[in-house]
A = this chain, B = another copy of it.
Amino acid sequence: MTDSFSSTDDLRSATKLRHAKSVCFAGPIELELGGRLPEVTCAYETWGTLDDDGSNAVLVCHAISGDSHAARHDADDDLGWWEDLIGPGKAIDTDRFFVVCPNVLGGCRGTTGPGEIDPTTDPPRPYGAEFPRITVADMVDVQRRLADHLGIQSWRAVVGGSLGGHQAMTWVTRHPKSVRLCVVIASSPRLTSQALGFDVIARNAIQTDPHFFDGQYYDQPHRPDTGLAIARMLGHITYLSSEAMEDKFDPDRHDPRQIASSFEQRFSVGSYLAHQGEKFTTRFDANSYVTLSMAMDLFDLGANRLQLMETFDESDADFLIVSFSSDWLFTPRQSQDIVAALAMLHKRVTYAEITSTAGHDAFLVNQDIQQFAPIIEARLGKTDSSKPVLSPVEELILSQIPPGASVLDLGCGDGSLLASLRDRNHCDLVGVEVAQASIVKAASRGLDVIDYDLNHGLPAFTDKQFDFVILSATLQAVSNVAELFDEMLRVGKLVIVSFPNFAYRTLREAYVERGRSPRAPGQFNYSWYDTPNRRFPSIADVLDLCRDKEIQVRKELYFDSATQKEISPDNDPNLNAETAILVISK
């Protein structure tokens, strides 16, 4: 390890990083954009023990201002930045897994970065702004060398949020057979133009700081603290939702906290930001901020789905993608683009958009972590293997599906139907749901579930991608019915639609006798004014639609729950059947 006159010595010796180890890789290290480093030191922390077969290693990738200290090592240790996710018995269980968290290349928390001495200089001086331009791929390359050093040939999982998500995705694109599970949280295939704009401004603030000295400020009496603080304050605003900022600052808007600062103090948000900015300058290096933000800005998996698909094509990893509803910097829409590319490639992917008010920061907030932690836990093997209980209608649906068929279940609920198919050894099974609790439940069964609004069609899937598409007990909730039918018939070779019959005998009787809105029995026992259902078709209505759209009805099954018997198609099912199951195709 090279001697360093830089501030990273101070940073590294900070108590929090006392458990960090480091290893030095001899160079020259070739970088993606053509530069090179004479050698690279990698600082990292580990938890747990590597299995004899090396199958339980989990790589945790931190975000732009993070470090190797993802979690504490013992009860006396400082808490880590992902304490809520990593530890004994937690979702990333350090009793079962060997967890590794390195500081990224270009950082300032132990791994080689702009603040380290360039060993080729005489007299020795830090790289400063001469540090070569690095990419996320270069970060991953250092991690690969670390894996080799630790005797790890493949990762059970690579997990990261924000820039950490970029690293996770880069792992599966550059080492497509070396990752079993890829977890990408609050991330994106590339930054939005808006996010890029903010980064450009932030970097300019740093680079035009009077104390920047082209990045060679380490020996100077002053650092480019103003520029770095401006950059951090800007980042801070983008990581919070507007709502979260109101909650934080509105009550005492005009009461600035009393802190000693050269920054504007007129508003409480001003003093808060100033405090955040100044705090940051004591623990982070300006050159690192420039280096890492540029790596994020250069990160680009593709501008459209085809390019994304090319990127992920060779990987045989399972994927878990998580976004947050109020994250306006790395939007849910961007995560959906990743999911769509993966789904169309028939990769195993689960996607959840977590409802949260915390903005981009949610991936670090306990309340929000508890929402996606169970899904990670399930993907890491802790699944609910309880036997699903099916209704008679569901059993009937199952009976229509031959062994081994691939199935897409739209509105899959807690995944009972898909779990039953899996118990029968089907493989290519995907569920679609919007209810967060159901998504978690289905994922906890080890199923792939995608958080998806059916009213937008099924753009994530390709033509005839599945043997069967199922729409069970969901039709009544759909607004864009005609479009969904078209889409289901595009995506599935066969489609099974099951729905309650709103011309069922008892409903007609009620309507005619009582002159009131038909009120479906059982689970659909709502009133006319509070039913969440949108559509109320009879069997005849749906058959009419099929006829109008030239859809073939290959099979009709009808069920009456009053008698618990099937109703023959000849026995006026539109009157006598409570539930219909139609197998259709185009």
* Residues on the B chain within 8 Å of A274, using CB: 200
User: A89 CB to closest chain B CB, in angstroms?
Assistant: 38
Cβ of A511 within 8 Å of any chain B Cβ, yes or no, is: yes
Are B273 and A197 in contact, with the CB atoms below 8 A?
A: yes
Are A303 and B538 in contact, with the CB atoms below 8 A?
A: no
For residues 264 through 305 of chain A, which have their beta carbon under 8 Å from a beta carbon of chain B?
A: 264, 266-267, 269-270, 273-274, 294, 297-298, 300, 303
Are A502 and B481 in contact, with the CB atoms below 8 A?
A: no
For residues 165 through 219 of chain A, which have their beta carbon under 8 Å from a beta carbon of chain B?
A: 192-194, 196-198, 200-201, 203-205, 207-210
**Given known A246-B193, A503-B511, A538-B516, contact A530–B482 (CB-CB < 8 A):** yes
The CA-CA distance from A536 to B534 in the complex, in Å, is 10
Q: Mark A505-526, 1 if CB is under 8 A from B, else 0.
A: 0001001101111000000000
* Residues on the B chain within 8 Å of A298, using CB: 266
For residues 534 through 585 of chain A, which have their beta carbon under 8 Å from a beta carbon of chain B?
A: 534-541, 544-545, 574-575
Are A269 and B200 in contact, with the CB atoms below 8 A?
A: yes
Are A303 and B193 in contact, with the CB atoms below 8 A?
A: no
User: A112 CB to closest chain B CB, in angstroms?
Assistant: 23
Q: Mark A250-262, 1 if CB is under 8 A from B, else 0.
A: 1001000000000
**Given known A233-B197, A245-B197, A263-B204, contact A537–B529 (CB-CB < 8 A):** yes
* Residues on the B chain within 8 Å of A270, using CB: 196-197, 200
User: A468 CB to closest chain B CB, in angstroms?
Assistant: 22
Cβ of A248 within 8 Å of any chain B Cβ, yes or no, is: yes
* Residues on the B chain within 8 Å of A226, using CB: 204, 208
Are B517 and A538 in contact, with the CB atoms below 8 A?
A: yes
The CA-CA distance from A528 to B537 in the complex, in Å, is 6
**Given known A200-B273, A267-B297, A528-B541, contact A192–B516 (CB-CB < 8 A):** no
For residues 302 through 317 of chain A, which have their beta carbon under 8 Å from a beta carbon of chain B?
A: 303
Cβ of A5 within 8 Å of any chain B Cβ, yes or no, is: no
Are B193 and A250 in contact, with the CB atoms below 8 A?
A: yes
Partner among B203, B248, B574 whose Cβ is within 8 Å of the Cβ of A193: B248
Partner among B236, B328, B541 whose Cβ is within 8 Å of the Cβ of A242: B328
Closest 3 CB pairs of A and B: A481-B529, A193-B249, A193-B245
